[in-house]
Amino acid sequence: MRLLPRDEKFFDLFSAVAKLNVEASRLLQELLRAAPSARRPIIDSIKRLEHQADQITHDVVGRLDRTFITPLDREDIHMLASRLDDIMDLIDGTARRIQMFRPAEPPAGAGMLADVIYRATEQLAIAVNTLEKDRNGAVLEACKQVKALEEEGDSVYHEWVGRLFDEGADPLTVIKWKEIYDTLERTLDQAEDVSNVLESVSIKHA
């Protein structure tokens, strides 16, 4: 028996946020394929997930204050929780921009980026779920996949932002979708940031 308790609940909380990120990214895919009249319920659902992720992240911070011995370094716990929550914030940010700008039918590139984000959040969920008892390098392999997806997303981003500026494009449409594309791209950058944290934690505690 341990003389002092070590709170393992942190891993469950990380997994809960990672799962919410997967669900939010699935809704983002749906949002970027929905007719303008069908967007509002999807945007509201993403916002509810964002609130849930915030609550879990606050729980992580509260537990850090109450727990004497933690399963990972305190700074790693705080950073991982914050970075996972940042993914959710950016997904919600994309949804909010679509709500504010009310753009017409999305270009195919936006849906392609949403697909890449979904796959990245799936890989992050695998990494987070295997972090506590990593076997056969599952965390590092999932992180490797996230980095490859970020590169794939970069290619999609550059291609489709370039298409926005084709001759004869409506300036307002360009402004709206450039902002949305930028937020989607930042979401993938954030996913890579989370993978870097997970990679560091996995190596440190191997």
Which residues have C-beta within 8 Å of that of residue 64, sequence separation ≥ 6?
70, 74, 77, 78
pLDDT at 206 > cutoff 90: no
Domain assignment present for residue 84? The answer is yes
φ/ψ bin of 67: left (φ > 0), alpha (ψ from -120 to 50), beta (otherwise): beta
50-75 pLDDT, tens per residue? Answer: 999 999 999 998 888 887 788 888 89
Identify the domain containing residue 22 by its residue range.
9-204
pLDDT of residue 166: 86
Q: What would the mean pLDDT of 140-164 be, rounded to a whole number?
A: 97
Confidence of residue 2 (pLDDT cuts 50, 70, 90): very low
pLDDT at 164 > cutoff 60: yes
107-124 pLDDT, tens per residue? Answer: 999 999 999 999 999 999
Report how far Cα 187 is from the mean position of its chain's Cα atoms. 6
Domain assignment present for residue 1? The answer is no
Q: Which residue has the higher pLDDT, 136 or 180?
A: 180
> What CATH number is given to the structural domain containing 86?
1.20.58.220
Domain assignment present for residue 4? The answer is no
- Cα separations in angstroms, 101 against 41, 72, 74, 171: 16, 42, 40, 13
When divided into structural domains, the chain yields a total of 1
